[in-house]
Amino acid sequence: MSEIVYPPVIKTALALFKALNITFRVEGTERIPRTGGAVLVSNHVSYLDFIFAGLAAHPAGRLVRFMAKKEIFDNRVAGPLMRGMHHIPVDREAGASSYKAALKALKDGEIIGVFAEATISRSFEVKDIKSGAVRMAVAGKVPLVPITIWGPQRLWTKGRKRRLLQRNVPVTILVGEPMYPKRGDDYDKVTEELHARLAELAEKAQREYPEIPKPGEDWWQPAYLGGSAPTPAEAAELDRRESEERAARRAAREAAAEGANKDAAEGKDAAAG
């Protein structure tokens, strides 16, 4: 597979992090397989998580192919980069093709990156996850590697202005012990164990983070540590409202398109008559 885009992107990101004096605490990178396929499962606190999760595999000399929503690939700037790095687009209304592409990549010895929470956690605690990552690891006969990231939410996260040029932000990346699910396992129980490991890593990263929020800046700290981020219940309600609003907008677009098609058809019939 040609790697014209991915290595320069990594070098550029590392140079930018150095210029911004972003400091890293990275632990457990020796748990990333140096060869063969694996499913890397990360928590999700920011729009930049794929960059930092990918860095966890850098010491092992590996490139991670992330599964990301199709809309990113449709962006005229991000799209060519995502395709050039051979990431995998996910159409939530037609997920079978993306699953098939990911499984093929696993069998070809690639590392697939998955954000099992699907969307960014507004509470910054690990949300409920589904069994897709576990099933993928089983089907590909590869290990499942949990990873937690903490800190990038201060740069760019849901509901907050981007602060991409903010300096001196510490970033924590913790890689957990690999899991080896196999066919015949109770996938729901394995998923619960995966969630527990992600949550444990996340709490460790949060409690041991080298900075505490300044006055008025505690929005990036989870509620259980005294921050003003939404609680998991509050975050779930915000997600529910957002989902309903998105569905309403989609329905309105579809209705408008259907109306336009109907008008065009009637106009054509009238012209023919």
Q: Which residues of the chain have pLDDT under 70?
A: 269-273
Cβ pair 230, 122 in contact under 8 A: yes
CB burial class (10 A; 0-12, 13-18, 19+) of residue 258? Answer: exposed
Count the Cβ atoms, other than its own, within 10 Å of residue 37: 21
Give pLDDT, residue 22: 97
CA–CA gap between residue 12 and residue 47 (Å, rounded) = 18
CA–CA gap between residue 91 and residue 70 (Å, rounded) = 5
Reading the block at residue 268, the tokens are: 């054509």
Pairing of the two strands 144-150 and 171-175: antiparallel
CATH superfamily of 6-228: Glycerol-3-phosphate (1)-acyltransferase (3.40.1130.10)
Which H or E element spans position 244?
A: helix 232-272
Count the Cβ atoms, other than its own, within 10 Å of residue 141: 14
Give pLDDT, residue 260: 82
Among all chains, which residue has been given the structure tokens 């990873």?
A: 147
| φ, ψ at 182 (rounded to 5°) | -140, 165
Which residue ranges make up each domain of the chain? 6-228, 231-273
Listed in sequence order, the residues at least 6 apart from 191 whose beta carbon sits closer than 8 Å to its beta carbon are 129, 130, 131, 133, 134
CA–CA gap between residue 45 and residue 157 (Å, rounded) = 7
Give pLDDT, residue 269: 67
**pTM (whole model) above 0.75:** yes
CA–CA gap between residue 239 and residue 252 (Å, rounded) = 20
| φ, ψ at 171 (rounded to 5°) | -125, 130
Nearest to 21 by CA among 151, 171, 163, 167: 167
CA–CA gap between residue 116 and residue 133 (Å, rounded) = 7
For the chain, the farthest-separated pair of C-alpha atoms sits apart, in whole angstroms, at: 76
Listed in sequence order, the residues at least 6 apart from 47 whose beta carbon sits closer than 8 Å to its beta carbon are 120, 156, 157, 158
CA–CA gap between residue 171 and residue 215 (Å, rounded) = 20
Reading the block at residue 249, the tokens are: 């907008």
